[in-house]
Structure 1
């Protein structure tokens, strides 16, 4: 999250993130994605801790269930237990 005192433009540089392992706690978690869009079916969840149908993104109409994780956006994910998931650009 960035906050600026006034409107304007800025350039932010960094490295491409093609893979990330994310630690989730039981309950609701706020996550972000990798540098490319990712379908939620491609999330590696070996312990099946993500509760089906509980990945939500924010739109102008409020929070909606989503099928894709877009770069630079945040998503709420509900887990039935603590553990790890991995997002990989295939």
Structure 2
């Protein structure tokens, strides 16, 4: 075997090894992307739940103010602040 043939075989083997390494890394990357997509779906659902809870809180608060006849925005802010502070302290 000549030196040139040896170098060509060595280069092919090296290329095969590099290709194999790249294929493994691509496989890991694809798995990671799938995991990320699943996590994104879960987080998206959680965010939507929080939006709905926020809307419900605002609606409940507006109904409370209407029932109590509270029209002054400063009073509304004060009452809402106290309510939220009480919740945090629980």
TM-score using structure 1 length: 0.17
Q: Given the two structures, how large is their TM-score scaled by the length of structure 2?
A: 0.17
Higher alpha-carbon Rg? 2
Q: Select the structure that is richer in strand.
A: 1
Higher helix share: 2
